[in-house]
Amino acid sequence: MPVKIEILTDLGLFITRTAGKMDDQLLAQYQESIYLLPGYKPTLNTLFDARLFSENLISPEGLIRFSSSTPFDASVKRAYIVCDEKAGMLATLFGSTTSAASENFLVTYKLEDACEWLGVAYDVVAASSIFKDDI
């Protein structure tokens, strides 16, 4: 599963784009890599773009394990951009288990909606390098 990560420090935003399949091993590698990134802080709001996500192979045990050890504080805002209803249900489950309150996460189909909800400028986010190339 290809994953791209970018931190927009000025916006206090951690962005992930993913494509393809996700399983327990790939999710573990992704989460471990976050701690090593320059500029990483557990208080960054997060934007997870999974519009190119094709298949969930994460086990129920893996979902529980990874949602209980998220690299981000429970109080941050999390926006998930999904490709379909099934991915939306997974994002809702993950968001509800990693967030301090239901007001702390949003699941949407559009980058514009995610940016508005996060309180960041859409044009700045859309122009960032993470959205310039395919993954």
pLDDT, tens digit, 9 for 90 and up, residues 72-118:
998 999 999 999 888 888 888 888 888 888 889 999 999 999 999 99
Q: Report which of 77, 110, 83, 113 is spatially closest to residue 95, judged by C-alpha positions.
A: 77
Return the CATH fold of 3-131.
Transcription Regulator spoIIAA (3.30.750)
Inform me whether the pLDDT recorded for 135 exceeds 70.
no
* Both structure tokens of 65: 């394990």
State the pLDDT confidence band at 66, using cuts at 50, 70 and 90: confident
pTM of the shown model: 0.89
pLDDT at 76: 95
Rounded CA gap, 116 and 100, in Å?
A: 20
pLDDT at 2: 80
Cβ neighbours for 3, distance < 8 A, ≥ 6 positions apart = 16, 17, 18, 26, 30, 135
pLDDT at 86: 83
pLDDT digits (tens, 9 = 90+) for 13-63: 999 999 899 899 998 999 999 999 999 999 999 999 999 988 888 898 888
